[in-house]
Amino acid sequence: MEKIRRFEIAKGYEDKQINLPVRKTKYSAGYDVEAAEDCTIKSFKKGDKPTLVKTGIKAYMPEDEVLILANRSSNPGKKGLILANSIGVIDSDYYGNEDNDGHIMFAFYNIKEEDIEIKKGDVIGQAIFQKYLITDDDAATGERIGGFGSTSK
């Protein structure tokens, strides 16, 4: 079978019973992504960094695709969880990078007054594969040299 796009278990999570993302209905755009381990997302205080929730997964895709990470529609209202970056952008060259093997994480802030507990296996967000376009004069030649947050280095 030709490799086009797929989720896989990230290095270091092979023995942790990680469930790969699935679409729940045949017309769902997004694949439901679960937390790889229990974690606490503290109530937000000015100056806090977002909490990175590990998924234990990585994804490969064609060079002209991106994996968009989106929040669950119920997270802000029920759990007070918002994505720190509004959406996550996983570039095709993030897969297998030398820093973290392309491990996908969701960056959350908790806007509730109480801390929120995330349990292993809780669905924390959605992942959507999407084609993207480039401009006629695009001249990008750089190569990824790291993992999370490395494109500006």
The verdict on residue 1 lying in a domain is no
Query: Quick check: 54 and 36 in contact, CB under 8 A?
Result: yes
DSSP classification of residue 72: -
The verdict on residue 30 lying in a domain is yes
CA distances from 140 to 50, 66, 88, 92 (A): 30, 16, 21, 14
Check pLDDT > 90 for residue 146.
Answer: no
The verdict on residue 123 lying in a domain is yes
The verdict on residue 151 lying in a domain is no
All residues at 6 or more sequence positions from 92 whose CB lies less than 8 Å from its CB, including other chains = 60, 61, 62, 63, 64, 65, 66
The verdict on residue 138 lying in a domain is no
Total tally of structural domains belonging to the chain? 1
Query: Quick check: 8 and 30 in contact, CB under 8 A?
Result: no
Q: Which of the residue ranges 66-80, 89-103, 114-128, 136-150 would you say has the lowest mean pLDDT?
A: 136-150
* Residue 87 domain boundaries: 6-131
The pLDDT of residue 1: 72
Assign 108 to helix, strand or coil: strand
Mean pLDDT across the stretch 126-147?
87
* Domain harbouring 61, CATH code: 2.70.40.10
The verdict on residue 142 lying in a domain is no
The verdict on residue 149 lying in a domain is no
Instruction: For residue 102, count CB atoms less than 10 angstroms from its CB and return exposed for 0-12, middle for 13-18, buried for 19 or more.
Output: buried
Check pLDDT > 60 for residue 150.
Answer: no
Compute the distance between CA of residue 55 and CA of residue 87 in angstroms, rounded to an integer.
16
What does pTM read for this prediction?
0.90
Three-point CA angle 27, 74, 86, nearest 5°: 90
One-letter-per-residue 3-state SS of 14-59: CCCCCCCCECCCCCCCCEEEECCCCEEECECCCCCCCEEEECCEEE
The verdict on residue 146 lying in a domain is no
Residues 60-112: pLDDT tens digits? Answer: 999 999 999 999 999 999 999 999 999 999 999 999 999 999 999 999 999 99
